[in-house]
Structure 1
Amino acid sequence: MIYCFDTYYFDNKAQTSCIGISDWSSNEVQFELSETISGVQEYESGSFYKRELPCLISILNLIELNPEIDTIVIDGFVILDDDGKLGLGGYLFDHLNSLIPVIGVAKNNFAKINKLAKKVYRGESKKPLYITAKGIDLELASDRINQMHGNYRLPTILKLVDNHCRKL
């Protein structure tokens, strides 16, 4: 299963949603789950993972992952620079004992990263998605994101999970 995650913050809460698909090119939802938690840490510049990682872990505790076939896709970076500084996805990968591949799909490139990230242009967009990964080859991860369903920059399922986490 390919589990795609996104989180929306409001008040002192966060709603995290997960949508699962069985194939990279599928737009058919096989799994869906959302969870809202309170007491979310304030945003800390340079340490975003401290805010969102607990949200991801909380919802992941409700899912039985299979290290042999599952992959996680997050909205954000797995690695932040070419020295391998961990981003949200890197901390998540470590939390999962390096057993489940994590692919980060970022819409904006604020990270100082060149060789450990790949730009993916989807549809007719002139703006790339920035792909980073741990537990899976970066080239393969980028190909997988490019294969995802949809004619636009953001794959259908990633847009859907973004919309789901905003439904309150």
Structure 2
Amino acid sequence: MIYCFDTFYGEGYAKTAVIGIADWDSSQAAFVLTDVIHELLDYESGAFYKRELPCLMSIIHKMNLDFSKDILVIDGYVILSDEGKLGLGGYLFNELGGRIPVIGVAKNDFVSLHNLKKPLYRGESGKPLFVTAIGYDLQKAHEKITQMHGEFRIPTMLKLADQTCREKD
């Protein structure tokens, strides 16, 4: 299964959503789960992972991941520099013992990263998404995100993860 994650921060809480799909081109979710946590760390410039990693781990602990088959897709970066500085996805990969691939799909460019990201133009948008990966070939990750369902810049299931984490309970 391919699991797509996103987190929304409200006043005093964070809500994380995960959407599971059976295939890269799936137009329907096979799995939907949300989780809310109230014990949040303050945002720390340059260390966003410290705030969001606990949100991801909280929901992952409620899932039954298959480390031999599953792939995680996050909203953000896996790597932040060509020297290998880790982003949120890299920290998640390490937290899971390096046993499950993580693909990052970011909406904004990160200027210190050149070679370890691939821009992806979808639909008619002139603005790319930026794909990074760890535990998975970057070119293959780019191809898989390209294959995801949807006519627009943001693939349908990534948009669903974003919408789901923003819904009021």
Q: Give per-residue Cα distances to partners, 1:108-167, cap 9 Å, x unaligned.
A: 013410100000111111100000000000000000000000000000000011000001
How far off is 1:93 after superposition?
Answer: 0.3
Distance 1:47 1:82 in 2: 17
Q: How does 1:31-42 map to 2 (within 5 A)?
A: 31-42=31-42
Distance 1:121 1:97 in 2: 32
SS in 2 for 1:58: helix
Gaps of 5+ in 1: none
Distance 2:110 2:67 in 1: 30
**TM (normalized to structure 2)?**
0.98
Distance 1:167 1:13 in 2: 13
Distance 1:39 1:59 in 2: 14
Aligned residues: 168
Distance 2:154 2:42 in 1: 27
**TM (normalized to structure 1)?**
0.98
Q: How does 1:46-125 map to 2 (within 5 A)?
A: 46-125=46-125
How far off is 1:50 after superposition?
Answer: 0.3
Q: Which runs of 4+ in 1 moved over 2 A?
A: none
| Aligned twin of 2:143 | 143
Distance 2:104 2:81 in 1: 13
Q: Give per-residue Cα distances to partners, 1:38-64, cap 9 Å, x unaligned.
A: 021111110000000000000000111
- Structure 1 position 2 matched with structure 2 position 12: no
Cα root mean square deviation, aligned? 0.7
How far off is 1:66 after superposition?
Answer: 0.7
| Aligned twin of 2:11 | 11
SS in 1 for 2:159: helix
Gaps of 5+ in 2: none
How far off is 1:90 after superposition?
Answer: 0.1
**Aligned CA distance change for structure 1 residues 31 and 4 (closer, same or farther; 3 Å):** same
SS in 2 for 1:77: coil
Q: Give per-residue Cα distances to partners, 1:7-37, cap 9 Å, x unaligned.
A: 0001121000000000000011100000110
SS in 1 for 2:65: coil
